[in-house]
Amino acid sequence: MTDVIRIANGQGFWGDWLEAPRRLVEDGPIDYLVLDYLAEVTMSILEKQRRRDPDKGYATDVVELAVSLMPRLLSGGVRIVTNAGGVNPAACARAIVAGAERTGIRGLKVAVVVGDDISDRIDEMIARGIPFDDLDTGRGIGEIRSEVLSANVYLGGFPLAKALAAGAQIVIAGRSTDTALTLAPMIHEFGWCERDWNRLAAGTIAGHIIECGAQCTGGNCSLDWQSIPDMANIGFPIVEAQETGDFVLTKHPGTGGRVTVASIKEQLLYELGDPKAYLTPDCRADFTSLSLRADGLDRVAVEGICGGPRPETLKTSITYAAGYQAVGTLVYSWPQAIEKARAAEAMVRARLDGLGLEFAEIHAEVLGADACHGPAATANPDPPEVQLRIGVRAVDPAPVERFSREMVPLVLNGPPTATGFGEGRPRVRQVVAHHASLLPREEIQTRVEIFESH
């Protein structure tokens, strides 16, 4: 059994720093590189791509990245675990294998975890009495059924660990939990079982800390952020995990950023509900049980984590079309910048009202005045410039399209000094909403599929 394994996260979302994964592999020893690409809205974007092209529906960035890292994967023993598969993990695996074969790489094994996609099972499950009631509103799925874009269940670490046990250098999942990517290597390497609640909770919290990439190594850090060194070359996080469940958070020596008790505390609070019962498919993690201590330069030890039995249900992630929106902006300069922006807002509202258009929502804010902090903002009655931002949302696209034609005319027939309209009319976009519900655990069966380069 391995004493310590080093698990690094090189992507906190699809669009994160492209250099981070390569630097993690090249700048020091790691055993696993995890890559977290998915957010709830990402699934709907990927589903739209798959509907246009059955060979799409995954985070395409991972293909070039994986191919570029393959020599190190095959020679140095580094393995990748990622949820880049989105709504089409098999297509993602085929693309990576094809890329390997084009570069002459043989013997690559890619494992795909499937079973999270329930899009074609919703009607059948509804007929059997599964309600799919929204966790926030209590609303049933019937009201939105015709607008559903994607439907997936969050998978935990054990299906991914099974894929690692198949000997794959790369494991690709669809909608797994973010924490599962880090937990799976621990389950695989240390042989944890499904009732090792404390250890599973520890692996889950380790995953929670590094799931947002450099957000725990000094990025987006509110405490003394000006003094954080070399953020342009910020180091991404590494978990040094032990079989007991205790672990150390660190980063490669010589990289920018900072790992401190304070930076880890900030990330621990990220998207945290009940701190005594953080629920995942694998366990209940008690965040109040852990202790943090400095363990040297850029090293924080996390110890004493307790956990409890996993829930009897799995959480679903269902996205659906919820109308259309557009957001337009204009910049107004001194003097009376705020007054000009408010007058322009009033003009747009009056014109939309005069057209008799119906919107579900019209929202306006003045950036540079009070958009971020509202009434708590420091008074600044005459700033050098502000940006007026107006957004509208409607069930049908027609009124939104009409709104998109009402911002730019203000440049000549509204308050003076308007600028910042170089991109022209606002773009009309479909609104994607999220419906989260619970599903009996026994409804989901996962399996592992293997793809190899020859």
349, 252: one domain = no
- The number of distinct structural domains making up the chain is 2
283, 346: one domain = no
332, 394: one domain = yes
| Percent of the chain scoring above 70 in pLDDT | 100
- What's the pTM value of the predicted model, to 2 decimals? 0.94
299, 371: one domain = no
In a domain? residue 444? no
Please report the pLDDT score of residue 354 as a whole number. 97
CATH of the domain at 362: 3.30.70
108, 209: one domain = yes
37, 175: one domain = yes
305, 354: one domain = no
Please report the pLDDT score of residue 42 as a whole number. 87
The boundaries of the domain holding residue 92 are 4-116+154-311
| pLDDT tens, residue by residue, 29-44 | 999 999 999 987 888 8
201, 296: one domain = yes
The answer to whether residues 388 and 345 touch, using CB atoms and an 8 Å cutoff, is: yes
Please report the pLDDT score of residue 135 as a whole number. 95
Residue 2 has pLDDT above 70, yes or no: no
175, 53: one domain = yes
Which of the residue ranges 36-50, 225-239, 277-291, 402-416 would you say has the lowest mean pLDDT? 36-50
230, 168: one domain = yes
CA dist., res. 4 & res. 418, Å (int): 60
In a domain? residue 21? yes
At 213, list the tokens: 């990439």
In a domain? residue 109? yes
User: Which of 265, 293, 311 is a domain's end point?
Assistant: 311
**Which of the four pLDDT bands, split at 50, 70 and 90, describes residue 423?**
confident
